[in-house]
């Protein structure tokens, strides 16, 4: 807060508030308004100070930066204390302190503002004459003081409390070198320091010293134009000091001045004005509550709008899921039906293949039987008519080759992928190997294959063994079963 109450400072913050409100800079607007309120309070315009703070309190409650709220509640605590509303004053001071503690934890900033917050609570208890409650808060100032430097403001209040508790040696200890510090810094708080020292001197019956420091305190208030609320109290104390010195005229003049200043500063403390103050205060609080209710309702409406949007989004997602589910079901159903149709087609093709393979097998068996008869006739001709045997034997061999080619063609047309699968398993399979594989697939035994291929039974066995090796079959694997699956 500012120390000097000057016209320039007031103008500066007034123009700043107007500028920042136009720019939409809420935080700096609040800071300027709070400083204006502080200036008004320091020069004794308490009602104006109240009005300025209540105007911006709802705004400060709605922003993330809590420093303006801390300062507003801190000044409200002082103002309510001036009007004797100790419980309300304490509520605002504690609220400012709690906000300050939370702000330090979230922003991880310096403890200086927190020390000031603890001191504000201590001062509030001091003004309520609850000195024992004030001391722990003063102790906390030093506990959180990481700089290890002397806290002159805190020591001044320690000295005042110990004065009121009658512990004068300890009070003297805390007051040591305070006056030179505040005089050098030219801080308005020196008026309070002079007052605290005057109280100690009065308690020690050092009347002249008490009068000296009371007068110094009044001169400081007039010089800095701050802490005006303390002036009538000091004048009354000074009057009592003059009475002790039998200076009735001096005492009368000081009491008269005290009453005049009190009337100017605290004119709201008359019974009539006290009622008006309470009505105005209640009206202001109602306005704040209504504004907060409006803001809460706006937030509720916004929340409801978001809830409606989420509901619409959820319904949309559900509809989309239903559509996706329906399409997926249709696809699965169609794929299942296609799979069934494919299975039926495969079963039909397998049945047709089986029938055609049976036909091939039957034709092959018939060929074997005819070949057997032809061989018998050729053997007979070989003995009885050697010349005709040679001619017919040549024709037989040519015809036998043609018959096998026709069989091979019909087999390939019926089992379209059989040879391709065999070549894929082993590209080195020969034409003879393929013939043997075709006959094995048609379930011909070795003897039938021997007749059909015109080779010995042993040659058939050798061929089967050779094919097994080329197909890398184990001993426990059946060649017939393996080929039937292709």
For range 450-473, the mean pLDDT: 85
Residue 456 domain flag = yes
Q: Using the 3D structure, point to which of 265, 290, 313 is the last residue of a domain.
A: 265
Residues 134-149 have pLDDT tens digits of: 999 999 999 988 888 8
| pLDDT for the residue numbered 185 | 83
Tokens of 84: 């004797």
Residue 192 domain flag = yes
pLDDT of residue 269 exceeding 50, the answer is no
pLDDT of residue 13 exceeding 60, the answer is yes
Residue 250 domain flag = yes
Domain residues for 453? 418-486
- The more confidently predicted of residues 158 and 288 is 158
CA pair distance 295, 61, nearest whole angstrom: 10
Residue 355 domain flag = no
Q: Using the 3D structure, point to which of 231, 265, 299 is the last residue of a domain.
A: 265
The answer to whether the CB of 50 falls within 8 A of the CB of 79 is yes
For range 431-438, the mean pLDDT: 85
| pLDDT for the residue numbered 270 | 45
For range 33-55, the mean pLDDT: 86
For range 239-254, the mean pLDDT: 88
pLDDT of residue 44 exceeding 60, the answer is yes
pLDDT of residue 275 exceeding 60, the answer is no
Domain count of the fold of the chain: 2
- The more confidently predicted of residues 486 and 210 is 210
pLDDT of residue 272 exceeding 50, the answer is no
pLDDT of residue 60 exceeding 80, the answer is yes
CA pair distance 265, 260, nearest whole angstrom: 9
- The more confidently predicted of residues 211 and 448 is 211
- The more confidently predicted of residues 131 and 484 is 131
Calculate the average pLDDT of the chain. Answer: 82
pLDDT of residue 1 exceeding 60, the answer is no
pLDDT of residue 241 exceeding 60, the answer is yes
Split at pLDDT 50, 70, 90, the class of 122 is very high
For range 427-448, the mean pLDDT: 85
CA pair distance 20, 442, nearest whole angstrom: 100
Tokens of 21: 């409100």
Split at pLDDT 50, 70, 90, the class of 308 is confident
User: Which residue, among 397, 395, 435, 393, has the nearest Cα to 418 in the 3D structure?
Assistant: 435
For range 338-367, the mean pLDDT: 71
Residues 367-395 have pLDDT tens digits of: 666 766 677 777 777 777 777 777 777 77
Residue 423 domain flag = yes
For range 118-145, the mean pLDDT: 92
- Residue 212 is part of a domain; what is its CATH number? 1.25.40.10
| pLDDT for the residue numbered 196 | 94
User: Which residue, among 251, 233, 254, 234, has the nearest Cα to 242 in the 3D structure?
Assistant: 251
Residues 310-346 have pLDDT tens digits of: 888 888 898 988 889 888 888 888 888 887 878 777 6
The predicted model scores a pTM of: 0.56
| pLDDT for the residue numbered 368 | 63
Tokens of 118: 């603890």
pLDDT of residue 2 exceeding 50, the answer is no
Split at pLDDT 50, 70, 90, the class of 125 is very high
Residue 481 domain flag = yes
Residue 199 domain flag = yes
Q: Using the 3D structure, point to which of 215, 249, 265 is the last residue of a domain.
A: 265
pLDDT of residue 90 exceeding 80, the answer is yes
The three-state DSSP-derived secondary structure of the chain is CCCCCCHHHHHHHHHHHHHHHHHCCHHHHHHHHHHHHHHHHHCCCHHHHHHHHHHHHHHHHCCCCCHHHHHHHHHHHHHHHHCCCHHHHHHHHHHHHHHHHHHHHHHCCCCHHHHHHHHHHHHHHHHCCCHHHHHHHHHHHHHCCCCCCCCHHHHHHHHHHHHHCCCHHHHHHHHCCHHHHHHHHCCCCHHHHHHHHHHHHHHCCCHHHHHHHHHHHHHHHHHHCCCHHHHHHHHHHHHHHHHHCCCHHHHHHHHHHHHHHHHHHCHHHCHHHHHHHHHHHHHHHHHHHHHHHHHHHHHHHHHHHHHHHHHHHHHHHHHHHHHHHHHHHHHHHHHHHHHHHHHHHHHHHHHHHHHHHHHHHHHHHHHHHHHHHHHHHHHHHHHHCHHHHHHHHHHHHHHHHHHHHHHHHHHHHHCCCHHHHHHHHCCCCCHHHHHHHHHHHCCCCHHHHHHHHCCCHHHHHHHHHHHHHHCCCCCCCCHHHHHHCC
């Amino acid at each position: 807060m500012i120390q000097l109450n000057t016209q320039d400072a007031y103008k500066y913050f007034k123009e700043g508030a107007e500028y920042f409100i136009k720019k939409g800079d809420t935080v700096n607007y609040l800071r300027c308004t709070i400083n204006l309120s502080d200036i008004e309070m320091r020069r004794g315009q308490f009602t104006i100070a109240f009005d300025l703070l209540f105007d911006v309190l709802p705004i400060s409650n709605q922003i993330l930066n809590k420093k303006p709220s801390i300062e507003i509640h801190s000044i409200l605590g002082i103002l309510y204390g001036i009007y004797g509303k100790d419980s309300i004053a304490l509520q605002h001071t504690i609220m400012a302190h709690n906000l300050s503690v939370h702000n330090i934890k979230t922003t991880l900033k310096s403890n200086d503002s927190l020390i000031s917050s603890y001191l504000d609570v201590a001062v509030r208890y001091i003004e309520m004459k609850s000195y024992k409650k004030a001391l722990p808060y003063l102790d906390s100032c030093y506990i959180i003081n990481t700089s290890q430097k002397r806290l002159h403001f805190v020591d001044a209040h320690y000295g005042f409390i110990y004065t009121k508790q009658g512990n004068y040696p300890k009070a003297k200890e805390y007051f040591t070198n305070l006056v030179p510090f505040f005089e050098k810094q030219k801080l308005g708080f020196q008026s309070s320091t002079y007052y605290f020292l005057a109280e100690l001197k009065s308690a020690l019956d050092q009347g002249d010293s008490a009068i000296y420091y009371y007068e110094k305190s009044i001169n400081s208030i007039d010089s800095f134009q701050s802490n005006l609320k303390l002036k009538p109290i000091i004048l009354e104390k000074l009057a009592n000091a003059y009475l002790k010195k039998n200076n009735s005229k001096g005492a009368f003049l000081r009491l008269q001045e005290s009453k005049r200043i009190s009337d100017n500063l605290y004119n709201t403390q008359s019974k009539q004005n006290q009622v008006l103050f309470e009505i105005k205060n209640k009206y202001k609080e109602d306005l704040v509550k209504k504004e907060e209710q409006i803001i809460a309702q706006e937030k509720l409406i916004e929340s409801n709008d978001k809830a409606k949007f989420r509901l619409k989004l959820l319904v949309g997602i559900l509809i989309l899921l239903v559509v996706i589910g329906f399409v997926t079901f249709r696809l699965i159903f169609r794929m299942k039906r296609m799979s069934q149709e494919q299975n039926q087609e495969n079963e039909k093709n397998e049945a047709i293949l089986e029938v055609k393979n049976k036909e091939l097998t039957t034709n092959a068996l018939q060929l074997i039987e005819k070949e057997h008869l032809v061989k018998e006739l050729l053997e007979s001709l070989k003995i009885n008519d050697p010349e005709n045997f040679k001619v017919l034997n040549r024709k037989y061999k040519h015809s036998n080759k043609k018959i096998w080619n026709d069989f091979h063609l019909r087999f390939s047309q019926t089992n379209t992928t059989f040879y391709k699968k065999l070549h894929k398993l082993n590209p080195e399979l020969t034409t003879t190997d393929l013939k043997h594989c075709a006959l094995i697939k048609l379930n011909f035994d070795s003897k039938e294959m021997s007749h059909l291929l015109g080779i010995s039974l042993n040659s058939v066995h050798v061929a089967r063994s050779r094919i097994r090796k080329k197909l890398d079959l184990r001993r426990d694997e059946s060649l017939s079963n393996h080929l039937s699956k292709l």
